[in-house]
Chains A and B, each alone.
Chain A
Amino acid sequence: MADRSPLAPREEACCFSRSSWHTVAAAMLVIVLSATGCNRAGDSSTESPSVDTNWPPDNLSAYGLFVDNGATQEPAEGVVPYDLNTPLFSDYTDKLRFIKLPAGGKIDYHADDVFSFPIGTVIAKTFAYPLDMTDPAKGRRLLETRILEHRPDGWVGLPYIWNEEQTEATLDVAGDTVQVEWRHTDGTQRKNRYLIPNANQCKGCHEADGTDKPMRPLGPTARQLNREFPYNDGAENQLARWSKLELLSHSVDSHDAPQLPVWDDPATGSVNDRARAWLEINCAHCHNPDGPAKNSGLDLLFAQNKPAKFGVYKSPVAAGRGTGGRLYDIVPGKPDESIFMYRLASDQPQIMMPELGKRLVHTEGVELIRQWIAEMPPPDDNKP
């Protein structure tokens, strides 16, 4: 992956001509169709998307999600910003989330699963580095906006990369690497080669497993959304706001809805609950019984209550160097004997976890897991 130098001619930022982009676009549709097993669009009266030569758009602005050119990330009319209780760690980027429903479209609310969104829903997530984390007023550098679009054939993930001028983001299915620098919360100057994932890597997290392997959104669940958001007209619970805006098919009382702890807010849950929330959001998109890392047998979903399944005295399977010479994923009371700590605290490929979508160690999250393991009592059934 080439660095995106500000000195590089603009043409080099995107190697594909418009027509070749459409070849890729058409090919991606074939992927979508083959991934869903059946050409459902062909069964209905809608036009086959393989002849929709204007989709996917080359430029993010075609989605009309933001006012002006999107540099301020101010949502356009009908676009709703939202936030999650415990987000995935992405190298200390700020993540700005937005959802736009098709006209008249409603979301089917599910208390314990990702909501069902109408065809035409667009979910956007912009990744940005604040220039100075101690002073947000100094502005930020937009890196990429990932689009999840609900097409008639299923969800499609599209990575749009922001230009150096911060005036437009363009589609590149192959991803990229961007050199970034910022002042961290502790006042130190930090650098990172930030990775923009390719379209397959989007699927790596967003694809449910099974025969058809459909993609799906991960974040917008009741327990993630059940929190306040600082809207322009005042703070309000997001589920209450979505109910009021009639985005949901029926009104939901946030007090009746489940709530995921905020990983770094002790008021929202015990160390155990916050650690399990952090592990689910950062690990369980792969480490679940149907996920891409199911062959490891490790299940880090919050609901998994069998200690052996979430790592307690579990021997590694294919960890290679990732064991760090340690015997079990988790040894209760002994974080320094637990493979979890070794892998979470590493930034080396083959050792570090998660192995995708980040390069930096989430120091604060790792400390939470350390405390969780240190305070963990041995399991009752501690048999050899």
Chain B
Amino acid sequence: MSFARKLGLAFIMVAATALLGCDRADPTDRQANKQAGNTQPIEPGPDVQKRLQRAFIAAKPGDVIELAAGTFELTGTLSLDVKDVTIRGQGKDKTVLDLSGQEAGTGGEGLQVTAGPILIEDLAIENARGDALKVTGADGVTIRRVRTEWTGGPSEKNGSYGIYPVQCKNVLVEHCVASGASDAGIYVGQSQNIIVRHNRATHNVAGIEIENSIDADVYENHTSNNAGGILVFSLPNLPAKNGRGCRVFKNEIVENNHPNFAGEGNIVAMVPPGTGLMIMAYDDVEVFDNTFQDNGTVNVGILSYLVTEKKYDDPDYDPYPEGIAVHDNTFTGGGDMPAGEMGKKLSILVGGKFPDIAYDGIVDEKKLVEGKLPDKFRLSIHDNGDADFANLDLANFDLARLKFPKVSRDLAPHTGSRTALRPVQLREVQ
């Protein structure tokens, strides 16, 4: 633990305690506590499930739980419910939590954390039966140099999520590798103030997904060989709804053409293989300086939730994507082999290559002013080289009734300028 981090954690604890009106927080105590913290590495071997679980239960705020190199053969979910703990391995290829032997009834995760702040670094979680690493309800989540993988490769039988902070605040996921998840490799949902950067997500259904969150920066990640590279989704019937504020920039979003192996019924199951970036029902998304290459169905799709044709009953939910800016990206190839039910169905509308940037054109008619969306709700698409665009006008598409929409390739209505979104700021993060 660096001195800066110690200070940072001490600060957080003091601040948190001050907020709670308690009088027992003394920065000196906290420092002493940390120094007295358990740093003896736990070794793999017999009875490791119990040894690790006991250590997690006995941990005190400020403790570092150090895991030795080697493979930890676990038989059930490991859970941590103590604030301000660090779980540290010896490297994401050296310390492996192997959940291949996970028994039914032990929980739905490999590692489950329900208290924050939490720092998890330098380890791998393999072959979880459910989610690999789930963090719920924590303020201050750092997941760094962690690998989550299903080692048998993509399969519908793999667990859902690799790295999965949900309902958290101040989340940093960096230098991680996620592979084989039957939903999203890296997923941050119903959270606020998020940075996802410098990660590598391959061979998942979705590489990286931001869902129903507020203020996320997703940058300098590599996503390839997923069914969908990056998803930015806002879904109904969730406690935190109407996701807004997401910057997706400087990512490599390349050859995400893997068949979709999600279980039917999951929202990601409808993502067409060959999707680079899909924005669904989110508001205020800025997509810039990314490299999109050879995503076979569509490099960038901008859709309302209504295209899923799923029922929902949620009067507070806004199913339309609004305030979306796509600018200064580089597009190479892609759109030449539309796949999946939706990809094939929509490809008949465009004839030939699918456009680099496809928009469903479904708008909230209540927001129209003199027949037009006000500027702040409109798309803003500009400076994307020779990328092509289509408004698919899906509101007027009904294949069964042979009703076909008026596809428009005219960018003119969608080039409104927009102020750049503010960068996400996290404590201790440059």
Contact A173 B57 (CB under 8 A): yes
Closest to B205 in A: A320
B22 at the interface (CB under 8 A from A): yes
Complex interface: chain A residues within 8 A of B159 (CB): 320, 350
Answer whether A321 and B263 are a contact pair too, CB < 8 Å, given A28-B57, A289-B239, A297-B237: yes
Complex interface: chain B residues within 8 A of A359 (CB): 103-105
Contact B61 A34 (CB under 8 A): yes
Answer whether A200 and B81 are a contact pair too, CB < 8 Å, given A24-B57, A27-B58, A38-B21: yes
Contact A349 B189 (CB under 8 A): no
Contact B54 A173 (CB under 8 A): yes
Stretch binding the partner chain, chosen from B88-96, B309-317, B359-367: B309-317
Contact A295 B239 (CB under 8 A): yes
Contact B24 A39 (CB under 8 A): yes
Answer whether A325 and B53 are a contact pair too, CB < 8 Å, given A204-B79, A308-B237, A350-B159: no
Contact A31 B130 (CB under 8 A): no
- Per-residue CB contact flags for chain A residues 1-22 toward chain B (1 = under 8 Å, else 0) read 1100000000000010000000
Complex interface: chain B residues within 8 A of A314 (CB): 237, 312
For the complex, what is the distance from the CA of A42 to the CA of B190, rounded to whole Å? 37
Stretch binding the partner chain, chosen from B160-168, B220-228, B381-389, B399-407: B160-168
A254 at the interface (CB under 8 A from B): no
B341 at the interface (CB under 8 A from A): no
Contact B311 A384 (CB under 8 A): yes
Contact B104 A347 (CB under 8 A): yes
Interface residues in A305-344 (C-beta closer than 8 Å to B)? 306-308, 313-328, 339
Contact A315 B22 (CB under 8 A): no
Classify chain A's interface size.
35 or more
Contact A317 B53 (CB under 8 A): no
Contact B310 A315 (CB under 8 A): yes
Interface residues in A345-384 (C-beta closer than 8 Å to B)? 347-350, 352, 355-359, 379, 381-384
A30 at the interface (CB under 8 A from B): yes
Complex interface: chain B residues within 8 A of A2 (CB): 47, 50
Stretch binding the partner chain, chosen from B106-114, B275-283, B330-338, B346-354: B106-114
B125 at the interface (CB under 8 A from A): no
- Per-residue CB contact flags for chain B residues 35-66 toward chain A (1 = under 8 Å, else 0) read 00000000000010110011011111100000
Interface residues in A95-126 (C-beta closer than 8 Å to B)? none
Contact A308 B265 (CB under 8 A): no
Of A313, A316, A320, A358, which is within 8 A of B130 by CB? A320
For the complex, what is the distance from the CA of A174 to the CA of B415, rounded to whole Å? 59
A199 at the interface (CB under 8 A from B): yes
Complex interface: chain B residues within 8 A of A35 (CB): 81
Contact B237 A384 (CB under 8 A): no
A61 at the interface (CB under 8 A from B): no
Answer whether A174 and B104 are a contact pair too, CB < 8 Å, given A30-B60, A319-B266: no
Closest to A298 in B: B237
For the complex, what is the distance from the CA of A157 to the CA of B304, rounded to whole Å? 47
Complex interface: chain A residues within 8 A of B54 (CB): 24, 173-174
How far is the CB of A211 from the nearest CB of chain B, in Å?
A: 7
For the complex, what is the distance from the CA of A104 to the CA of B161, rounded to whole Å? 52
Closest to A339 in B: B265
Contact A320 B106 (CB under 8 A): no
For the complex, what is the distance from the CA of A209 to the CA of B20, rounded to whole Å? 16
Closest to B109 in A: A355
Contact B265 A383 (CB under 8 A): no
Contact A308 B238 (CB under 8 A): no
For the complex, what is the distance from the CA of A263 to the CA of B75, rounded to whole Å? 33
Contact B130 A357 (CB under 8 A): no
A23 at the interface (CB under 8 A from B): yes
For the complex, what is the distance from the CA of A30 to the CA of B33, rounded to whole Å? 12
Answer whether A384 and B20 are a contact pair too, CB < 8 Å, given A27-B58, A31-B57: no
Answer whether A295 and B237 are a contact pair too, CB < 8 Å, given A356-B107, A381-B313, A383-B311: no
B9 at the interface (CB under 8 A from A): no
A193 at the interface (CB under 8 A from B): yes
A198 at the interface (CB under 8 A from B): yes
How far is the CB of A147 from the nearest CB of chain B, in Å?
A: 16
A177 at the interface (CB under 8 A from B): yes
A220 at the interface (CB under 8 A from B): no
B76 at the interface (CB under 8 A from A): yes
For the complex, what is the distance from the CA of A209 to the CA of B58, rounded to whole Å? 21
How far is the CB of B174 from the nearest CB of chain A, in Å?
A: 23
B82 at the interface (CB under 8 A from A): yes
Complex interface: chain A residues within 8 A of B267 (CB): 315-317
Complex interface: chain A residues within 8 A of B105 (CB): 195, 349, 352, 355-359
Of B20, B50, B82, which is within 8 A of A1 by CB? B50
Complex interface: chain A residues within 8 A of B311 (CB): 313, 315, 328, 382-384
Contact A200 B313 (CB under 8 A): no
For the complex, what is the distance from the CA of A324 to the CA of B269, rounded to whole Å? 12
With A319-B263, A320-B131 given, can you name 12 additional A-B contacts, CB distance below 8 Å? Answer: A174-B54, A175-B53, A198-B79, A200-B53, A201-B107, A211-B20, A289-B239, A295-B190, A313-B313, A317-B235, A323-B265, A325-B265
Which residues of B are at the interface with A, using a C-beta cutoff of 8 A?
20-22, 24, 47, 49-50, 53-54, 56-61, 75-76, 79-83, 102-108, 114, 129-131, 136-137, 156-157, 159-161, 164, 166-167, 182-183, 189-190, 235-239, 262-267, 309-314
7 closest pairs, A vs B, by CB?
Answer: A320-B160, A323-B265, A27-B58, A308-B313, A325-B264, A359-B105, A349-B129
CB pairs A–B below 8 angstroms (30 shown): A1-B75, A2-B47, A27-B59, A31-B82, A37-B22, A38-B24, A173-B54, A173-B57, A175-B50, A193-B103, A195-B103, A200-B81, A201-B79, A295-B136, A297-B237, A297-B239, A313-B311, A313-B312, A316-B267, A317-B237, A318-B131, A318-B160, A319-B263, A321-B160, A323-B263, A323-B264, A325-B265, A349-B102, A349-B129, A355-B105
